[in-house]
Chains A and B, each alone.
Chain A
């Protein structure tokens, strides 16, 4: 992708100079010829040069193309060259691109081990910016399953940035890759949330997690987190309990109902109400009515839930949507 002709360069510069000066019609008639575009095979070195140069471009489309081209080329690139380039790269941006290419090799079935090399560096790299970049490259992949519990370690990383990137990966993997439907991945996410000592990480993972396929053991871990000192963690745990599998629902309902009376934080109480609604659908209305007197300031919130549950919708996503629509009405 390197320049091959000074004549062409001059022609291009001339065209660039003239174009803004010419009216559209005239320009259409005297368009200078473009660069000779010859297609060829891709190499690690050539792609890396292109990406480095492309980072200077003002075009986001071009940067996206370069990123995509490297990732799409990954299965057919030289494995040793790719790994070597990744190992020696110290720039976080370039390391992320190379890591993404290695991850793509595993995701496409070209090399089951490549993702582990990335996970290893995410744990062992000294520069936190490179660690964070490497963690990002694992996003929306099978890493929750294929990296042997690496997330339980990443959520304890000394760098808050790395911990947050790891939490984002877990959230997006569960939602976008597994759709909440894969028990082992969901359990790995709960284990990571429980292992973290950073309340922001725990809350981020559990606060938006689909728990419909978690094990009884995971449900127990979430119930334990209801007793956290951190209100955001309690809130996230309450929301997560709302979605547990049918066999865990009775126990979860008992926990959140019992907690509501003693909970002082209004945000946590709102989350408990949502959890009660999700665990009972229209059947939760009598319980919600009983809770109206516990905290009169939350009576409007309870009434909003009752109003929506009375629609008797049969899907939680629809119930939640209608609740949000109700609250957006001016």
Chain B
């Protein structure tokens, strides 16, 4: 299955293993690897995924030829000496007898009963179809959406994710009563946190979040008992923010809330979302936002959070302040991976004019000598773009930071 929107993605990885991992900065350090983040919250059981857009320059396949739509090895990929070509293994698909009659006769009223045997099967293709078909059946009718949300209260197995994904992708989700009910149910403490996370995630296709909704989501994210629901609330804020930013709208209220979560949530993973998710929209930082990320850079206990802060700070309007901050922080930072972030994001802040700052970092920590020479050489060749520079590095992960969480 491929998503309709670019770039071509591999089929969603099953399971939840990719979800709780801190989301790492990839490739050019532009965007974290969010492709495997599921709709359902971090501890959820759904496997439907709403892939975030991946940066082209950070796309591993890009350097090695075509990225296959299905995630299998490129047929043109050369074999290493002595390596024998293995015949690829393909799993059979399932063709359902009477699926045409199902499609012709299914309605919002009989969907749950009719779809049950298909939802209980292990056929991911038919599940995707059921999700899309249910989205069609909901249409723009808020009552249909509300009915499907009620089904989700006690939905078992895969059906929970299918129901909520269908609501999420429907036109009706933009009706005020649907969005409000999703938020209400997401805050309903009588529901398991994992279900509340799914309900809140269904809000992430909203065109915008009103101040009241933003406030409620932020409160959830900062509440220590929210667990998965708080995580989903933070991510929903960030995803709607990204959409608003693409529409050229002001995202200051969203950034304010994410930075509040990034500074205040007692849950390290939720806090990290607040710190990391802004890099997807990549906004230029105002003086106040710069100040708040600077506090995270020097005060956050989680090194991933400090890394994310450096990443975001590289897009501050105040480049001089950021370079000074990076230089000063490098002196006392204990984590080699955060130091590597300070080093490379200095270049993303000011290009080759950051080289003196980076050279000074080398004098403080000679482990950066070799990589500094790479930066210097690539800039001398005339390269200007940080993405190109990063992708030209002989080793983009010189300190093995990308797999530190494996």
Residues in A neighbouring B8, C-beta threshold 8 A: 140, 176-177
By the criterion CB–CB under 8 Å, are A106 and B75 in contact? yes
Residues in A neighbouring B100, C-beta threshold 8 A: 1, 50, 53-54
Q: Which residue in B99, B101, B110, B282 is a CB contact (below 8 Å) of A318? A: B282
Residues in B neighbouring A31, C-beta threshold 8 A: 109-110, 113-114
A76-B132 in contact given A1-B95, A69-B95, A145-B65 (Cβ < 8 Å):
no
By the criterion CB–CB under 8 Å, are A109 and B88 in contact? yes
A112-B347 in contact given A12-B105, A34-B110 (Cβ < 8 Å):
no
Q: Which residue in A1, A15, A68, A328 is a CB contact (below 8 Å) of B248? A: A328
By the criterion CB–CB under 8 Å, are A312 and B386 in contact? no
- Give CA–CA (A181, B67) in the complex, Å: 11
Within A57-73, which residues are at the interface with B (CB < 8 Å)? 57, 59-62, 64-65, 68-69, 72-73
Besides A35-B98, A60-B136, A246-B382, 7 other A-B contacts (C-beta < 8 A): A3-B101, A36-B97, A65-B128, A72-B1, A76-B91, A141-B69, A314-B385
- Give CA–CA (A62, B129) in the complex, Å: 7
Closest approach, in angstroms, between the C-beta of A330 and any C-beta of chain B?
10
A24-B98 in contact given A68-B128, A76-B93 (Cβ < 8 Å):
no
Kindly state whether residue B255 has any CB partner on chain A within 8 Å: no
Residues in A neighbouring B22, C-beta threshold 8 A: none
A37-B125 in contact given A31-B109, A247-B382 (Cβ < 8 Å):
no
3 closest Cβ pairs, A-B complex? A34-B114, A61-B132, A35-B98
Residues in B neighbouring A4, C-beta threshold 8 A: 97-98
0/1 string, A112-149, CB within 8 A of B gives 1: 10000000000000000000000000001110011000
A residues contacting B by CB (< 8 A) are: 1-4, 8-9, 12, 15-16, 19, 22, 24, 27-28, 31-43, 46-47, 50, 53-54, 57, 59-62, 64-65, 68-69, 72-73, 75-76, 104, 106-110, 112, 140-142, 145-146, 172-173, 175-182, 185, 210, 212, 246-247, 249-250, 280-283, 311-318, 322, 325, 328-329
Q: Which residue in B90, B113, B125, B136 is a CB contact (below 8 Å) of A76? A: B90
0/1 string, B284-319, CB within 8 A of A gives 1: 100000000000000000000000000000110101
Inter-chain CB contacts under 8 Å: number: 248
Q: Which of B115-123, B211-219, B231-239, B332-340 contacts A (4 or more CB under 8 A)?
A: B115-123
Closest approach, in angstroms, between the C-beta of A142 and any C-beta of chain B?
4
Kindly state whether residue B399 has any CB partner on chain A within 8 Å: no
- Give CA–CA (A260, B350) in the complex, Å: 29
0/1 string, B120-144, CB within 8 A of A gives 1: 0101011011001101100000010
Closest approach, in angstroms, between the C-beta of A311 and any C-beta of chain B?
7
Q: Which residue in A16, A54, A64, A180 is a CB contact (below 8 Å) of B132? A: A64
- Give CA–CA (A328, B1) in the complex, Å: 36
- Give CA–CA (A134, B62) in the complex, Å: 26
Which of A104, A173, A311, A317 has the most chain B CB within a 10 Å cutoff? A317
Which of B1, B30, B93, B118 has the most chain A CB within a 10 Å cutoff? B93
By the criterion CB–CB under 8 Å, are B317 and A311 in contact? yes
Residues in B neighbouring A41, C-beta threshold 8 A: 92, 95
- Give CA–CA (A70, B117) in the complex, Å: 22
By the criterion CB–CB under 8 Å, are A180 and B76 in contact? no
Kindly state whether residue B396 has any CB partner on chain A within 8 Å: no
